[in-house]
Structure 1
Amino acid sequence: MYWSKWDLNLKIRLIGDSLFSMFFWMYFPFMMLFFSDAFGKSIASMLMAVPPLISLLGSLFGGYLSDRWGRRPAMLLGAFLQTSMFAGFALSSSHWLDYLAYIGLGLGGAIYTPGSSAMVADVTPEKDRRMVFATFVTGRNIGAVFGPALGSVFFFQYRNGLLWACTTITLLYFIAILVWIRETLPSSADTKRSESKFLGILKEQAQSYGVIFRDKAFALYIVAGILVTLAFMQLDMYLALYVKENVPTQTLFAFSHLTLSLSSAQVFGWMLGLNGLLFVLCVMPVTKWFEKWPERNVLILSSLLFGAGMFMIGLTTYVWLLFLFTIVFTFGELSRSPVTDSFISKYAPDHARGQYMGAANLQFYVGRLIAPATIFLSSWFSPLMVFGFIFLATIVSSILYVQVFKMISVDYGKKEAAMLSDER
């Protein structure tokens, strides 16, 4: 699907999301250091466990809001909350206010995301959704690659200016959504607004999600996603610890009198850089490559590739092999990203697409919460055993994906087959 054929909603949001991602990655990686300096490592580690829980609830609420009131109101609320929190962070003179602003930023993003993903599905033909979602993934990852490098300078030396820049960008994006983005909530959706008080709305929301989670295939899909996310999160957790403790300083290459040696910290930095660069350069070609593949096969292959790549890292400390295995698990990671949203957009009923998108985010938040278990395991078991546990989690997830697609209705299977036949 060419850019010229994109809906105006998509064009505006691709630019806005990419810019915001850049600024997000200029502050997010350094927040643990910021709060550790402010409160101490022990308190900071406990405090940092709270934002994912708040974001989880925000994602569920954002999905409910986008289906009940519309995608646009949910996105506006999320963008406005982020703008306000950036401004509050910039004006704050208290570390506790900084922390509350940080929680608010996560909450705003969580409210915004389900409606945003649902809107992409609303305005994109089904056969083009993977490529469009892949384009959004590329935009976000450009920020993830360059943001930390810029943030390492601006966050520590010009923090207030950075926060005001973030405030300005999110405010302009809020205005763009308000002025140019049109509502895309399908006419089939139940637009009856609740007249209940706050507790009544919470009860109605709980009932709506109760229906979703009684969908056994979808619930199993969430469990499989949690196991995969547990593995993905090790890039910032156990993998960093393994490289630091086990990989020695070594020569990357030597030519004549020119020698480049990398310490363990530098090896890990290069692995992260390679991971991010591959995401930016390859997510679109890989998505195109697997375009004809059913979601089932892509999800299974992704889980197994990522787990195998991580496990092989535990077999070596040689830098070039570490880079090779980084490429293996990165291809597993990037082949999955566009498919998850594409699958939910097809599987969910039109009238509940936002809530399914919000509920699907549970796999990421819960996965993030249990991912530190590998650090605990590393105190008792060898690195190979820990990487084996990570690989086992991805193997189990692939088995669960097989079961998910067995449970999905025959109608969905026929629908997917018809779509692939039309593409041929």
Structure 2
Amino acid sequence: MKEKRLQIHLLGWNIILGTLFGRMSTSMSIPFLAIYLTQVKHLSPAVTGMIIAASSLVGIVSSFYGGFLSDFLGRKTVLLISIFSWSLVFVGFFFADKVIAFFVLNALNGLCQSIFEPSSKALLSDISKEENRLQIFNLRYTAINMGVVFGPILGLKLGSAESTFPFLIAGFIYFIYGMSLIYSFSHYTIDTKDEKEEKIKLSTAFHVTRKDTVFLAVLLGIILSISGYSQFSSTLPQYFAEQMKNGVKLFSLFLSLNAIVVIIVQYPIVKVMNKFHPLNSIILGNIFISLSLLSFSFTSNPLILSIIVIFFTIGEVMMFTMTDLLVDHIAKPSLKGTYFGAIGFNRLGNVIGPWLGGLLLESFGVHHSFYMFLIIFITTISGIPALMFSRNKLKKMSALKKTVSANKLTI
């Protein structure tokens, strides 16, 4: 294990550790935004859902271009501009007061994230060997969830549901993250494809991804899957806050439980699911998430809810641990950043989810939650056919390649 870790570029460790502290600062602020807007600013669940969805809506539009820019301009330029801009956005939340300000800032939050994250994933792919990429992508995923273990607890202690002060802290942390990247880029040279190869045109990049039917089907399936997953940070906090007296505290504990379970089960699940096609893991993850969401409507018992959160988290791990590796395999070598950016269109699920959840919560209320969760369940699980199509298509393509290779050897 130690030997494998030493194979990670020091710039890669910077990304992984920066992800840990960045996600910790994000999870102590953003997940509480919905509660803050409804309980302090007294906005309706539907308006709150629109504000939360703004981040993903802008991310959908900009993610492809963000990934392309990292291929065209280089990882360093794109990463540094986006991280420092992100820092300013969080500071902006601290000073925000009007509804329009929260809407614009959360949209800019989505813009910065959709530019920074595909670039950082592409950089990790660039500086690592193919056989180590699953380990590195999962180290990043572990860092995300370690941040989420402590973030909600800090957010609860800092009063994130009642104040925007934690956003100011988040802005400072992202500024430090940016400074660490400046240091790493200045001290460690990298040799990546995007720096050596001829720059590809935007129209060419768009044409390649648009014609990739396997990728598009994967994207559709993941969008619908994420529409269900997004309920955990948008509809559920509002639902618990209205349904139970200590709903806000319970939700923060569920966030930490979610992250702790991810850390515990991630590597055992990856070890098992790595023996199968990545899409099998994503499909199974969808099923776990869908059934867990439906189960929330049947109980208000904290212990049973905790068990449901654990099953939900297992589904999350099955889905997300294999997504980056799947995209890395599907992507054309000269378009890694573009493909990691294009998969960002899956954030349409983060638009559909909060909007649908907020609308259903307002329509049915907590006393008729079964119908709300039933509609969410149907929406989420409908992504499975597209994922199965992609899996079968990829298997046929793999079998065809083996046949062609065998024929060449025979000749």
| TM-score normalised per structure 1 | 0.79
Kindly indicate whether residue 228 of structure 2 is the aligned counterpart of residue 221 of structure 1. Answer: no
- Measure the CA separation in 1 of the matches of 2:91 and 2:234: 31
Do the aligned partners of residues 4 and 188 (structure 1) sit closer, same or farther apart at CA in structure 2, a change above 3 Å counting? closer
Instruction: Say which of 329, 352, 358 aligns to 1:346.
Output: 329
Alignment of 1:168-179 (within 5 A): 168-179=175-186
- Measure the CA separation in 1 of the matches of 2:248 and 2:40: 24
Instruction: Say which of 164, 172, 175 aligns to 1:165.
Output: 172
What is residue 205 of structure 1 aligned with on the other side? 202
Do the aligned partners of residues 297 and 409 (structure 1) sit closer, same or farther apart at CA in structure 2, a change above 3 Å counting? closer
Query: Greater RCO between the two (CA within 8 Å, min separation 6)?
Result: 2
Question: Secondary structure at 1:124's aligned position in 2?
Answer: coil
Q: Matched residue pairs, number?
A: 391
Q: Deviations over 1:19-57 (max 9, x none)?
A: 222222233234446666897625766554433322223
What is residue 387 of structure 2 aligned with on the other side? 401
Do the aligned partners of residues 185 and 40 (structure 1) sit closer, same or farther apart at CA in structure 2, a change above 3 Å counting? farther
What is residue 369 of structure 2 aligned with on the other side? 383
Question: Contact 1:71 / 1:183 at 8 angstroms: preserved in 2?
Answer: no
Question: Secondary structure at 2:322's aligned position in 1?
Answer: helix
What is residue 7 of structure 1 aligned with on the other side? 9
- Measure the CA separation in 1 of the matches of 2:61 and 2:9: 30
Instruction: Say which of 294, 300, 311 aligns to 1:311.
Output: 294
- Measure the CA separation in 2 of the matches of 1:387 and 1:158: 33
Q: Deviations over 1:250-273 (max 9, x none)?
A: xxxxxxxxxxxxx55554444333
Instruction: Say which of 340, 347, 350 aligns to 1:368.
Output: 350
Question: Contact 1:89 / 1:163 at 8 angstroms: preserved in 2?
Answer: no
Do the aligned partners of residues 244 and 205 (structure 1) sit closer, same or farther apart at CA in structure 2, a change above 3 Å counting? same
RMSD, aligned α-carbons:
3.4
Cα offset, 1:172, TM superposition:
1.8
Do the aligned partners of residues 318 and 169 (structure 1) sit closer, same or farther apart at CA in structure 2, a change above 3 Å counting? same
Question: Contact 1:58 / 1:108 at 8 angstroms: preserved in 2?
Answer: no
Question: Contact 1:304 / 1:332 at 8 angstroms: preserved in 2?
Answer: yes
Alignment of 1:93-242 (within 5 A): 103-154=107-158, 156=163, 162=169, 165-166=172-173, 168-180=175-187, 182-186=189-193, 190-192=197-199, 205-240=202-237, 242=239
Question: Secondary structure at 1:408's aligned position in 2?
Answer: helix
What is residue 252 of structure 1 aligned with on the other side? none
* Structure 2 residues not aligned, in runs of 5+: 403-411
Greater Rg by CA: 1
What is residue 197 of structure 1 aligned with on the other side? none
- Measure the CA separation in 1 of the matches of 2:38 and 2:106: 14
Counterpart residue identity of residue 292, structure 2: G
What is residue 65 of structure 1 aligned with on the other side? 69
- Measure the CA separation in 2 of the matches of 1:244 and 1:15: 33
Cα offset, 1:141, TM superposition:
1.3
- Measure the CA separation in 2 of the matches of 1:292 and 1:93: 49
Do the aligned partners of residues 354 and 86 (structure 1) sit closer, same or farther apart at CA in structure 2, a change above 3 Å counting? same
Kindly indicate whether residue 260 of structure 2 is the aligned counterpart of residue 277 of structure 1. Answer: yes
- Measure the CA separation in 1 of the matches of 2:171 and 2:356: 37
Counterpart residue identity of residue 70, structure 1: G
Question: Contact 1:126 / 1:346 at 8 angstroms: preserved in 2?
Answer: no
Question: Secondary structure at 2:269's aligned position in 1?
Answer: helix
- Measure the CA separation in 1 of the matches of 2:237 and 2:164: 26
Question: Contact 2:34 / 2:48 at 8 angstroms: preserved in 1?
Answer: yes
- Measure the CA separation in 2 of the matches of 1:315 and 1:102: 33
Q: Deviations over 1:378-398 (max 9, x none)?
A: 525943343333333343222
Do the aligned partners of residues 217 and 163 (structure 1) sit closer, same or farther apart at CA in structure 2, a change above 3 Å counting? closer
Identity %: 23
Question: Contact 1:52 / 1:369 at 8 angstroms: preserved in 2?
Answer: yes
Which region of structure 1 is more displaced relative to structure 2, 274-283 or 373-382? 373-382
Cα offset, 1:407, TM superposition:
2.1
| TM-score normalised per structure 2 | 0.81
What is residue 26 of structure 1 aligned with on the other side? 28
Question: Contact 2:149 / 2:257 at 8 angstroms: preserved in 1?
Answer: no
Cα offset, 1:303, TM superposition:
1.1
- Measure the CA separation in 2 of the matches of 1:374 and 1:37: 18
* Structure 1 residues not aligned, in runs of 5+: 194-203, 250-262, 417-424
